[in-house]
């Protein structure tokens, strides 16, 4: 496989890490002709909305959101009194840590909004050049819902595949996801979870590193970049497992991976969106390099001990990156369970 077409729009949304510039902030930096009019987000926008810069084609983020506000207000008169912040959450693509507000180029933002209908979303997508896609925010956390079923927001116009750039070991890697189906994990100035994983790898040099609730692969890929030679990425949510495999492919050169073999596809995985205890795990992809191997699994975490070779049961370190970390009874139970099943170490990042 030389290229992965975007499963949402069929375009080239998924690109390798060689697209990441040495200084990613330049993607959203102004040129000498750009102008920033900082708006009060707690008030409705005032004045005319500027067009993109004639020099570089970028536009200040506040002006982009004001443009979206004007379209919503044209379709829903009562919205005109709402503040700019009511438009929704702009998610940059790629997402990077920035100290200053960005200047946005074409197709550089996925908008997550509670204020849009399908018609309004289609207008925003067609009239605001910076908007890559519009997601209807249902106020839920995408993935596995409280009842164990599938949960997600709804893409109602454009494409919602976007990436986030994270640093580790003086390297930068990219994590792609379909944002309506995956939780938001936006880069910050520091990432304590990545740093915890990095220290664990350097201190213990495990034969196998297991990311049991891997999401779209951030911690598992960080572990591999830090030096873990054998990594298992597992998630019970089909979209997370799929995008973990895609992210292995996107970062393959950086990881020293020669080959990524996909064992399943998105359509097949979506037929069983949530894996429960007792369900048979599915190998989504396997990656191989000169000194490393990575496997992506769509399965319930309780199936993981059966995947680890008997001779290496006590050697793996597992990370349990669960949402409800405050539930110490739950996290303590996970740690005890892993120790009882494998004798290996585990931690909550």
Over residues 93-113, the pLDDT tens digits come to 999 999 999 999 999 999 999
315: pLDDT strictly greater than 80? no
pLDDT score at 343: 86
- Tell me the average pLDDT across 39-64: 96
> Could you read off the pLDDT of 322-340 as tens digits, one per residue?
988 888 998 999 999 999 9
Phi, psi dihedrals of residue 295, rounded to the nearest 5°: -125, 135
* Least confident range of 69-73, 126-130, 341-345: 341-345
Higher pLDDT: 79 or 48? It is 79
Residue ranges and CATH numbers for the domains of the chain are 17-162 (no CATH), 190-347 (3.40.50.150)
- pTM comes to 0.94
Could you give the 3-state DSSP secondary structure of residue 44? Answer: coil
85: pLDDT strictly greater than 90? yes
131-136/109-113 β-pairing: parallel
Cβ-contact 159, 9 below 8 angstroms: yes
pLDDT score at 314: 64
Distances (CA, A) of 171 to 94, 100, 221: 16, 22, 12
- Tell me the average pLDDT across 291-299: 96
Q: 3-state secondary structure string, 145-192?
A: CCCCCEECCEEEEECCEEEEEEEECCEEEEEEEEHHHCCCCCCCCCCH
The residues near 226 (Cβ < 8 Å, ≥ 6 apart) are 168, 169, 197, 198, 201, 202
Cis peptide before 19 (omega within 30 of 0): no
Cβ-contact 136, 154 below 8 angstroms: yes
pLDDT score at 189: 80
47: pLDDT strictly greater than 90? no
1: pLDDT strictly greater than 60? no
257-262/282-289 β-pairing: antiparallel
Phi, psi dihedrals of residue 161, rounded to the nearest 5°: -85, 125
151 has which bridge partners? 143
Cβ-contact 61, 49 below 8 angstroms: no
pLDDT score at 36: 92
Return d(Cα 266, Cα 59) in angstroms, integer: 35
pLDDT score at 291: 87
> Could you read off the pLDDT of 156-182 as tens digits, one per residue?
999 999 999 999 888 899 999 999 999
Q: Tell me the pLDDT of the chain averaged across its residues.
A: 94
pLDDT-based confidence at 33, cuts 50/70/90? very high
pLDDT score at 186: 86
């Amino acid at each position: 496989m030389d290229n992965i077409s975007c499963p949402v729009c069929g375009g080239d949304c998924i690109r390798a890490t060689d697209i990441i510039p040495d200084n990613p902030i330049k993607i959203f930096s102004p040129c000498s002709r750009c102008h920033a009019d900082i708006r009060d987000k707690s008030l409705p926008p005032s004045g005319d909305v500027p067009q993109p810069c004639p020099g570089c084609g970028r536009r200040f983020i506040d002006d982009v959101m004001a443009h979206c506000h004007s379209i919503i207000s044209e379709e829903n008169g009562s919205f005109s009194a709402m503040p700019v912040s009511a438009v929704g959450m702009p998610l940059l693509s790629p997402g990077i840590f920035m100290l200053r507000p960005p200047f946005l180029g074409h197709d550089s933002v996925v908008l997550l909004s509670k204020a849009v209908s399908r018609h309004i979303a289609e207008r925003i997508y067609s009239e605001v050049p910076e908007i890559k896609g519009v997601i209807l925010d249902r106020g839920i956390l995408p993935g596995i819902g409280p009842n164990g079923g599938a949960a997600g927001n709804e893409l109602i116009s454009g494409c919602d595949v976007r990436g986030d750039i994270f640093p580790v070991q003086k390297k930068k890697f990219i994590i792609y996801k379909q944002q309506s189906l995956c939780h938001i994990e936006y880069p910050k100035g520091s990432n304590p979870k990545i740093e915890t994983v990095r220290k664990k790898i350097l201190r213990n040099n495990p034969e196998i590193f297991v990311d049991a609730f891997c999401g779209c692969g951030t911690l598992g890929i960080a572990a591999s970049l830090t030096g873990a030679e054998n990594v298992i990425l597992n998630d019970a949510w089909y979209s997370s497992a799929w995008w973990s495999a895609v992210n292995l492919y996107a970062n393959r050169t950086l990881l020293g991976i020669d080959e990524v073999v996909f064992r399943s596809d998105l359509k097949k995985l979506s037929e069983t969106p949530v894996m429960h205890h007792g369900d048979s795990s599915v190998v989504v992809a396997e990656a191989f390099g000169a000194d490393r191997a990575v496997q992506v699994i769509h399965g319930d975490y309780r199936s993981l001990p059966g995947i680890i070779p008997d001779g290496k049961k006590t050697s793996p370190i597992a990370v349990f990156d669960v949402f409800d970390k405050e539930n110490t009874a739950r996290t303590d139970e996970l740690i005890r369970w892993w120790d009882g099943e494998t004798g290996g170490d585990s931690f909550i990042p």
